[in-house]
Amino acid sequence: MSKKTKITAIVILNFIIYISLGLPDSILGSAWPSMRVSYDMGASQVSYLSTIMLVFSFLSSVFYTKISQKLTVAQVIFSSMTFVIIGLILMMVTANPLVLFLATPFMGIGQGAIDVTVNHFAAKHLPSSLMSLLHGFYGLGVSLSAAILTFFLSTFSSWRLAIGFITVVEILILTLIFVYRATFAEHDQSENVAEKSENELKPKFRVAYFVSPLFYFFYSVEGVVGVFLATYYAEVFQVKPSLSAGYTTLFWLGLMTGRFLTGVLTRFLSDKKIIFTHLVSLIIMSFALLFPPTAWTPVVVFVLGLAMSALYPLLMMLPNQMYPEPIAQKVISYNVGFCLLGILVFPLLFGVLFRLMTFSIFPIFIISMSAILLILAICLYKIVEKQIKA
């Protein structure tokens, strides 16, 4: 295989793997109104499942350094996808809630390890211009899974067939990875280098350095909407499961579309203008969630996803403008950690509150978190301006 052909294969395979990463991520959010009936579970219990999944995803990410020393990139990807497929099969074949809870660790372990693996591999072999597209393809995977669930729920009234279809797609992608495993044959030692560099630097932290990670902690509102949006419309407004799943599909489509458009917009507008335009749109669309579903609701949920799309990638660039490199690297690592922490904490917290106070308070929480994001973004840019003047 020539060098050019190998690079092309790497690019295409990474795009496909990112799609596979997104495929399982909207299952609980889109299908839960129907799944919970089959499992005889409460509407708020989806938060416990997503929390368990995220905990195991976090653990597999933490232990990735040790895993990568013993396995090649291809072996980590293959093993991770196998875990995900096992989790999907367990979800599909049983009506026992205990087996459903058993499926979530498999999903979490697989998703966490493969996420770290493909990010490191892509960063090492692909240019930065393609890295932004990869995250768009992840959104494509999430949108596809939500669309698949919507189709099977509306056509066959079966979430099991939908998960079965997604499982088959994952198996086909797994087979493709196995065939081209030589492309990913190397060991990933980048984590060891990063760890050594981090230990040597050990920068002292100030309170101001945590403003950016705090933003990412509340940015977990994206995950909250993805998990609870369908259930909110089904529980509060008695929307049919297939239609509420369709709303979730449109939300992820908005997020995916926005990720692809952000790279284009940065050529004409400053990052600051894009970020604050999206934040204001997010608050407006959050207020729109208060109203009963109308013909405009699909537009509302699509723009809601669109409004969140630019925040994660563009705010991640600010630390390099604010601090010296050692501090910036540390802040970025905390950004990722705090975002994961928020995704762990808020669905669990909201699940308890929704059970105690009903799902009607869902828009209030989204409005509150969006307002906090706006305030933190203002604080971040004030720090940037202060650094420029200094």
Please report the pLDDT score of residue 200 as a whole number. 46
Least confidently predicted of 47-56, 117-126, 146-155: 117-126
Please report the pLDDT score of residue 297 as a whole number. 92
Please report the pLDDT score of residue 108 as a whole number. 85
Fold of 1-189: Growth Hormone; Chain: A; (1.20.1250)
Domain-wise residue ranges, the chain: 1-189, 203-390
d(CA 289, CA 311): 20
CATH of domain 203-390: 1.20.1250.20
Please report the pLDDT score of residue 193 as a whole number. 44
DSSP for 256-319 reads HHHHHHHHHHTTTS-HHHHHHHHHHHHHHHHHHTTSPP-TTHHHHHHHHHHHHHTHHHHHTTHH
Please report the pLDDT score of residue 278 as a whole number. 94
Per-residue pLDDT band for 195 (boundaries 50, 70, 90) equals very low
Per-residue pLDDT band for 171 (boundaries 50, 70, 90) equals very high
Same fold, 1-189 and 203-390: yes
State the Cα angle at 109 between 160 and 260, rounded to 5°.
Answer: 75
Query: Span 161-187, mean pLDDT?
Result: 85
Q: What's the pTM value of the predicted model, to 2 decimals? A: 0.67
Tens of pLDDT, residue by residue over 242-283, are: 888 889 889 988 988 887 787 778 778 888 898 999 999 999
Residue with tokens 């597999």: 60
Please report the pLDDT score of residue 220 as a whole number. 87
Does the pLDDT at position 112 exceed 90?
no
Tens of pLDDT, residue by residue over 216-243, are: 899 989 888 988 898 899 889 988 888 8
Q: How many helices (H) and strands (E) does the chain have?
A: 18, 0
Query: Span 64-70, mean pLDDT?
Result: 68
Please report the pLDDT score of residue 341 as a whole number. 79
